[in-house]
Amino acid sequence: MSNLPPNPYNNFPGPPHQVNANAVHQTFNHNQQYGQVPQSQLPPGFGGLKQDPNSNSPAHGPASVPQNNVLQNVNNYNQSASSSPAFNQPGMTSLPQGPQMSPMRPPMSVAPNSVPNPLPPAHSVSQPSASPRALPKANPSPTPYNPSYHPPHQINDNAPPLIPSSQMSQPLLNGPLQSQYGPPSSQYPVSSSAYSSPPGGKPPVSGYGQGLPPISKPSGPASLPSQPNVPFSSAPLAGPPRNSPLIPGPPVSGPPTGMQNFSGPLPGPPRQAGMNGPNVSGPQVRPDPVMGLKPVTSAPMGPPGGPPMGPGGAPPVQGFPGQYNNGPSGQPIGPAIGNMGPPSMFSGPQNPPIGSQMPPMGPQSLPPMGQQSLPPMGHQMGPPPGPIIPAGGPPKSNMQNRYPQMAPAPGNYVNNQPPQAPQGNMKQYPQQYSAQGVTQQMGQLSVTKQGFDQLWGHHMVDLLQCKHILPEYPEDPPEIKLCHQFADASNCSPEIFRSTINRIPETNSLLQKSRLPLGILIHPFKDLNNLPVIQCATIVRCRACRTYINPFVYFVDAKRWKCNLCYRVNDLPEEFQYDPVSKSYGDPSRRPEIKSATIEFIAPGEYMLRPPQPAVYLFLFDVSQLARESGYLQVACDTLKANLDSLPGDARTQIGFICYDAHVHYYLMGEGLTRPKEMTVLDIDDVFLPSPESLLVNLSERRELVRELLCVLPARFAGVAANAPACALGAALQAAYKLMAPTGGRITVFQTCLPNVGPGALQPREDPNARSSKDVAHLNPATDFYKRLALDCSGAQISVDLFLLNSQYADLASLSGMSKFSAGTVYHIPLFRATRAWQADQLCRMFTRYLTRKIGFEAVMRVRCTRGITIHTFHGNFFVRSTDLLSLPNVSPDAGFGMQLSIEESLSDLQQVCFQAALLYTSSKGERRIRVHTLALPTASNLTDVLHSADQQCIIGLLSKMAVDRCMTASMGEAREAVMNVAVDALSAFRLSQNLPAGAMSSSLHAPMSLRLLPLYLLALLKKKAFRTGTSTRLDDRVADMCALKLAPLPQLLRAAYPDLYPLHALHDYLPRDEPGEDQEGSDAPDPPRLQLTAERINMNGAYLLDDGESMIMYVCQGVSPAFLSETFGVTAHSQLADELRALPRLPTPTNTLLHAFLDKLNDDRPYPADLLILRDNSPSRTLFTERLIEDRVESAFSYFEFLQHVKNQVK
């Protein structure tokens, strides 16, 4: 019956895909109609398959009968086989025994049999194509589900219930197929006849061995067809599969002719659905599914023809679910199954598991199908498998298809793919197999186990063997696979919300076993391009825990929803059923709150304790002796003047200035004044404010006065005679606090020296001789003056930002307190001299970004977690006001936060864990807004899953923050030790979970793919300024680096820890090759691969760019070609380059233009452009570059290999 629905689809799909296979497939198409068999066949020749499906559905459906006969036969066979194959993984479970056996044999005896394996891959491929459509569904499903579930899915599919969305997507593809189906019923008879004809194929069946037996099982008619089919498919299929399992695509060409016919319809889709998903065209898959399903059933049904169709339809459905959502996946599976069946038959040898599955399929195909079809549950199951497949499937296409939702995810996969690619086929096969089969096989065959591991995404790497471990292009964060129910719910972008472990351990003891830090990183106020903003009278929140309604809530019925954090059932206000977009009433799930995990509300009155504050900016300038020498004031005033009009704010914006040296200077710009008036207060121990009302003035009303002040200010102090250096920062801050306390706002402090008079005076503590000693002292503040001041400011909604432009020790450890606890930021430019143009330029860029970026005032951020999880520690700049509430007087788009989590209760009865960060702030326009981010993560119940779902980048982000804390509370030595132990612990846990030999006992050091970069990043962290020992590091630089680690969002932090190194001498080799249409921006910018940071990668004939976010160093080696030099730098010889060049000349040469385009592209993704430094490899300051080659040994610090050895010896 389900088939009928597909018919509509048939109409749609036919055309596109059909084209491909058309010629060959037409005949096959018939097959398709009959069953997915063709698909199964198709799998071998994927390429062909994809096309086939299309062609099948459309053209052939009705007319191709003649061809169909043959094809049908094939199909029938295929179906039997395919059903097994497709289901193999899932459905096959029922047939486990057969499959297992077969798997073994196939490899042994029949090479051709291997074809089935290829088929599976093909299926996977097809899945990808399907996946796009199915993607949403696919996302959630974990690999584990796949095997067992697929069958159910198929069933479901039959049911038709399959997810409409998936079906929809498929429909086009299916459309043709269905049309075929439509006819198929009529055709079935034909097919049956076809079957009969195929019987001849029986011999082949024997060849298939296991696969055949299943066939025999089916009813007489069925068995016959299946056998004949087998022969057909087997030959073609085997060819391709064996050749290259991975290659399913390529094989297609080879075996294609025969295979294509078969696969054309079936294989393409099924396979895609299964493994490759993405590659295969969506349409094909769908048709296949439909076809496949029916055929599958039909196969068993063989004789009945008509009846089989019904069942068959169901099976296909199952297939789809597995892959994607139920709907689509079921269909694909169906076809896939069909395909699989035949393939397995053929390929038997190739994939033992498949083969085994296949055989079972053949014989059992009917029974399984029936069973599968029966259980509606299948749908649910289906989705999970689908996801699983993607996970397992290394291929990019799969990932993408499956996870279309997650834009980044595809990238990740892609990255991973390279390493996995070789195994891709293997992975795919395992995935296809049923879970049961998998487990059984695992015990028997290590190869099988490997395949399965890959399937599930459980790859591991021997770190000691893998020299080039860094992916050439940045990896995307691992995708999050939620349960089917929320498979297509949009999760929060990993750029905003990221967890160190993407599957939360169910219990604390499991977390302890994994020995990974559990935490989340949030970048809540990130600049976003597409942020849904809604304004409504009542914001829907849980009455118990005040959680905002989000995409992961459960709707009990149309009037009630169940909170996903505390599980209370709440009423839904009437108006929530009104869709503001379509302006109609209906399903609450259409609301933007439910559609987007990141949303912004414009808050009504009850979210305000007082009227929204205006934007108030106060600038504190140090004008002491050292400050005048540095000359920063001119730069700062010029920059401020230039950006006065772009300060965020409205008509109420206020601005004020205070200067301080030994005294505090105020500038009155009140009414009646035509020029700014300076007042100096000599008493710094008990500050008072002269006429406060004219110190902070309305910017729009007094713009001219402000401009004038900014013009005269630098000159005002330039002429002051040198006197004893004295700086009364503390007094100035107290004055600023008094001035700002009634309104709140932002204080910007420019400081150049150690404050040494008045309140908050500090003593120089640093011992310059101990800069490279092992233990670093004085990381903690010398006084709590600045901290208390910050707390006062925080209470008054004032935030303090510090620009430290010191040329000597300024005790940043103490000063940073003013920013740390008031949610400010510390900017540090050591040894600043305005006469150095590049430093002035750097300050100008930094300050411009600071002035013009978005700002949120009087903000609070609350982070809520699912019951059972609590926040242990917060990291970042803020004041913690209660266990889950951060007070952020100002919030900036450049601030990130980290949270360590602890698991207090078992989560084993939960399917997923949610985190919600709600940031309530006042925009610079005086609007109260709430930005809500919601992240949902699945849970994991075993150690392997936990370790394989770790997010190494996020772990580094959290660890760096934890290490900074450890430095403060314990010592640098302990912090370093703790960082090193993270690698040891994580790899020990992995060793335990895999029963690998102990580190010292084996010659290899295994790490899961998900943690393979962990040691590298940890080493980079240890060599960072903040944590390095043995290298002379100024205390202030070290502390500034620590502040940056605490605050920086993850991408910046990672780049600072492990800078990107690009080869510049061959940029033109990395020009984007694709049509510009695809990349919206910078289609002309080259995209060179990253290199590992080791001198091995530095070629004497090259030029390199090292980018750590804050600065870029261009390193030009001696042997670089003169042509490159003249085109890039306009010099003819290497020696003509200056020792330190601070800017890249603009020349009208392609090389130069290309390089500029590349630099611009790199600068696009950071708050402000980085500095550029061009060094020759014989410049005196070349160490600036070479010290960043962190994989090499530096005195007193490990090289990467030594570090691995160290870790290996410690791993227990």
Partner 1 sequence: MAFSFPAFSYIIALILDAFLIFFSIFHVIAFDELKTDYKNPIDQCNSLNPLVLPEYLLHLFINVLFLLSGEWFSLLINIPLILYHLHRYYTRPVMSGPGLYDPTSIMNADVLTVCQREGWIKLAFYLLSFFLYLYGSVITPATLE
CA–CA separation, 578 and 573 (whole Å): 10
Of 509 and 969, nearer to partner 1 (C-beta) is 969
Pick from 791, 978, 992, 1144: which binds partner 1 (CB under 8 A)?
Answer: 791
Of 136 and 519, nearer to partner 1 (C-beta) is 519
Q: Does 1202 bind partner 1 (CB under 8 A)?
A: no
Q: Does 787 bind partner 1 (CB under 8 A)?
A: yes
Q: Does 784 bind partner 1 (CB under 8 A)?
A: yes
Residues 6+ apart with CB under 8 A from 1029: 772, 773, 774, 775, 776, 972, 973, 976, 1196
Of 108 and 880, nearer to partner 1 (C-beta) is 880
Please check whether residue 233 is in contact with residue 343, taking contact to mean a CB–CB distance below 8 angstroms. Answer: yes
State the minimum distance, in angstroms, from the CB of residue 880 to partner 1: 4
Longest dimension (CA), the chain: 109
Q: Does 782 bind partner 1 (CB under 8 A)?
A: yes
State the minimum distance, in angstroms, from the CB of residue 370 to partner 1: 55
Three-state DSSP at 585 gives strand
State the minimum distance, in angstroms, from the CB of residue 781 to partner 1: 6
* CA-angle at 949, arms to 992 and 443, nearest 5°: 50
Q: Does 871 bind partner 1 (CB under 8 A)?
A: yes
Q: Which of these segments, 81-89, 248-256, 774-782, 952-960, binds partner 1 (CB under 8 A)?
A: 774-782
CA–CA separation, 68 and 661 (whole Å): 93
Of 40 and 799, nearer to partner 1 (C-beta) is 799
Pick from 186, 589, 783, 944: which binds partner 1 (CB under 8 A)?
Answer: 783
**Residue 1047 corresponds to which tokens in the numbers above?**
């605050």
Pick from 109, 186, 902, 1153: which binds partner 1 (CB under 8 A)?
Answer: 902
Q: How many CB atoms lie within 10 A of CB 1021?
A: 26
CA–CA separation, 681 and 689 (whole Å): 9
Q: Strands 1171-1176 and 1111-1116, how do they pair?
A: parallel
State the minimum distance, in angstroms, from the CB of residue 873 to partner 1: 5
Nearest to 225 by CA among 140, 114, 301, 164: 301
Residues 983-1002 that bind partner 1 (CB under 8 A): none
**Burial class of residue 714, CB neighbours in 10 A (0-12, 13-18, 19+):** buried
State the minimum distance, in angstroms, from the CB of residue 737 to partner 1: 15
Segment holding 548, helix H or strand E:
none
Of 416 and 756, nearer to partner 1 (C-beta) is 756
State the minimum distance, in angstroms, from the CB of residue 865 to partner 1: 13
**Residue 127 corresponds to which tokens in the numbers above?**
């899945």
CA–CA separation, 429 and 119 (whole Å): 8
Residues paired with 1197 in a beta bridge = 1194
Of 344 and 814, nearer to partner 1 (C-beta) is 814
Q: How many CB atoms lie within 10 A of CB 1127?
A: 18
Please check whether residue 627 is in contact with residue 667, taking contact to mean a CB–CB distance below 8 angstroms. Answer: no
State the minimum distance, in angstroms, from the CB of residue 817 to partner 1: 9
Q: Does 785 bind partner 1 (CB under 8 A)?
A: yes
Of 883 and 1132, nearer to partner 1 (C-beta) is 883
Total number of residues that touch partner 1 (CB under 8 A)? 24
Residues paired with 569 in a beta bridge = 562
* CA-angle at 941, arms to 937 and 947, nearest 5°: 75
State the minimum distance, in angstroms, from the CB of residue 822 to partner 1: 11
State the minimum distance, in angstroms, from the CB of residue 882 to partner 1: 4
Of 562 and 872, nearer to partner 1 (C-beta) is 872
415, 419, 425, 430 alpha-carbon torsion, rounded to 10°: -90
Q: Which of these segments, 240-248, 478-486, 868-876, 1045-1053, binds partner 1 (CB under 8 A)?
A: 868-876
Q: Does 674 bind partner 1 (CB under 8 A)?
A: no
Of 883 and 1136, nearer to partner 1 (C-beta) is 883
Pick from 444, 507, 848, 870: which binds partner 1 (CB under 8 A)?
Answer: 870
Query: Mind giving me the DSSP string for 250-281?
Result: HHHHTTHHHHHHHHTTTTHHHHIIIIITTSS-
Pick from 419, 573, 692, 795: which binds partner 1 (CB under 8 A)?
Answer: 795
Q: Which of these segments, 544-552, 555-563, 849-857, 865-873, binds partner 1 (CB under 8 A)?
A: 865-873
Packed helices 97-108 and 435-444: angle between N→C axes, nearest 10 degrees:
50
CA–CA separation, 77 and 1024 (whole Å): 63
Query: Mind giving me the DSSP string for 647-698?
Result: SS--TT-EEEEEEESSSEEEEE--TT-SS-EEEEE---SS---SSGGGTSEE
State the minimum distance, in angstroms, from the CB of residue 872 to partner 1: 4
Q: Which of these segments, 500-508, 693-701, 731-739, 777-785, binds partner 1 (CB under 8 A)?
A: 777-785
State the minimum distance, in angstroms, from the CB of residue 769 to partner 1: 25
Binding mask 877-896 for partner 1 (x = CB under 8 A): --xxxxxxx-----------
Q: Strands 1006-1008 and 1103-1107, how do they pair?
A: unpaired
Pick from 449, 559, 716, 788: which binds partner 1 (CB under 8 A)?
Answer: 788
Q: Which of these segments, 7-15, 345-353, 735-743, 775-783, binds partner 1 (CB under 8 A)?
A: 775-783
State the minimum distance, in angstroms, from the CB of residue 1035 to partner 1: 16
Residues paired with 618 in a beta bridge = 656, 747
State the minimum distance, in angstroms, from the CB of residue 903 to partner 1: 12
State the minimum distance, in angstroms, from the CB of residue 824 to partner 1: 14
Of 293 and 886, nearer to partner 1 (C-beta) is 886
Q: Which of these segments, 565-573, 650-658, 872-880, 1001-1009, binds partner 1 (CB under 8 A)?
A: 872-880
Q: Does 793 bind partner 1 (CB under 8 A)?
A: no
State the minimum distance, in angstroms, from the CB of residue 814 to partner 1: 9
Of 248 and 781, nearer to partner 1 (C-beta) is 781
**Residue 143 corresponds to which tokens in the numbers above?**
């690999």
CA–CA separation, 238 and 116 (whole Å): 7
Of 785 and 1129, nearer to partner 1 (C-beta) is 785
State the minimum distance, in angstroms, from the CB of residue 901 to partner 1: 10
Of 867 and 1142, nearer to partner 1 (C-beta) is 867
Question: How many separate helices (H) and strands (E) can be counted in the chain?
Answer: 49, 32
Residues paired with 619 in a beta bridge = 657, 748
Q: Does 860 bind partner 1 (CB under 8 A)?
A: no
Q: Strands 869-875 and 897-903, how do they pair?
A: antiparallel
CA–CA separation, 211 and 363 (whole Å): 8
Of 414 and 918, nearer to partner 1 (C-beta) is 918
580, 584, 589, 593 alpha-carbon torsion, rounded to 10°: 10
CA–CA separation, 477 and 410 (whole Å): 9
Q: Does 1210 bind partner 1 (CB under 8 A)?
A: no
R_g over Cα of the chain: 33
Binding mask 805-834 for partner 1 (x = CB under 8 A): ----------------x-------------
Of 791 and 1144, nearer to partner 1 (C-beta) is 791
Of 885 and 996, nearer to partner 1 (C-beta) is 885
Q: Does 519 bind partner 1 (CB under 8 A)?
A: no
Q: Which of these segments, 415-423, 494-502, 784-792, 984-992, binds partner 1 (CB under 8 A)?
A: 784-792
Question: Which residues bind to partner 1, rule: CB under 8 A?
Answer: 780-785, 787-788, 791, 795, 821, 870-874, 879-885, 902
